[in-house]
Amino acid sequence: MAKLFREFLRHTLYRGKGNLYTLDDPYRTISKVLDTQSITGIIDAGASDGRVSERFARRFPQARFYQFEPNPIYREALEQQSQQDSRYHPYHVALSNEPGELELQNTQSPGNVSFFKPNDMMLRRYAEGSKIQNTIKVPVTTLDQWWQENGKPDVQLMKFDIQGSEARALAGATQLLDSGVLAIYSEVYFNAMYEGGALFGDIDKVLRDRGFVLYNFYSARHDPTGSGMLLWGHGLFVHAQRLNIH
């Protein structure tokens, strides 16, 4: 019923009108954009309990999933998933632009955990879930280092949901991005919610330098206190030349 309602709105109320918010399902759009491609490798950065990997697995059943998740609360779930299905490969490390060790800010809500501290805007609008409870040190690698150390596996699709660390992770993945990645689905912030966290423009700059262009925005979220300010959403970026999109 929800799908039919979205389709009704998309073809009536929003037809022909410019709007940042699209009613299209991003997973269906990604499937359509990559329909003629062989998808054998997908990176899930910020894998949490593996539910997004499972959504992609239903659309790309031949793919292997490389899941990066440093938060220890998800370790057991990811390990169980990998034991039940050999397509899933969890790595309990974080991603950035250089290897080492960083402090993870553990917030009340696991969805807000980040290397960056929540700023005043985040604390005012999401006070209940954004307060820091403690910090833990976690290992960090770059995607290029991981890629080299694991035999340069083919990767066509990448997903990022790492709370402001997306630009740094992408900056540490230039060799991998140049190897044949076709599409990137990433959380993006339009207004800062973390101290030092990446904004949409930072992510867009890194990707455009490697031949990627913005395809569309999804799941736009506005200020819950009622100001109407656009805060964050998700962006789909595609490599125009590799996918022959001009």
Specify the CATH number for the domain of residue 93.
3.40.50.150
Beta strand extents in 83-169 (DSSP E only):
88-91, 94-95, 100-107, 132-141, 157-160
Residue 171 belongs to some domain of the structure? yes
Residue 209 structural domain: 21-97+142-239
Q: What is the distance between the alpha carbons of residues 118 and 123, in angstroms, rounded to a whole number?
A: 6
At residue 227 the predicted structure's pLDDT band, cuts being 50, 70 and 90, is: confident
For 39-54, how does the pLDDT look when each residue is reduced to its tens digit (9 = 90+)? 999 999 999 999 999 9
Residue 91 is given by DSSP the state E
For 141-187, how does the pLDDT look when each residue is reduced to its tens digit (9 = 90+)? 999 999 999 999 999 999 999 999 999 999 999 999 999 999 999 99
Domain count along the chain:
1
b/e map of 120-136 (b: 16 or more CB within 10 Å)?
ebbeebbeeebeeeeee
For 6-23, how does the pLDDT look when each residue is reduced to its tens digit (9 = 90+)? 554 454 444 444 455 567
Residue 103 belongs to some domain of the structure? no
Residue 91 belongs to some domain of the structure? yes
Residue 84 belongs to some domain of the structure? yes
Residue 246 belongs to some domain of the structure? no
Residue 115 belongs to some domain of the structure? no
Residue 10 belongs to some domain of the structure? no
Residue 107 belongs to some domain of the structure? no
Lowest mean pLDDT among 64-73, 119-128, 173-182, 188-197: 119-128
For residue 226, the model assigns a pLDDT of 83
How many residues are recorded in the chain?
Answer: 246
For residue 94, the model assigns a pLDDT of 97
Distance of CA 25 to the CA centre of its chain: 15
pLDDT at 208 over 90: yes
> Is the pTM value of this prediction over 0.75?
yes
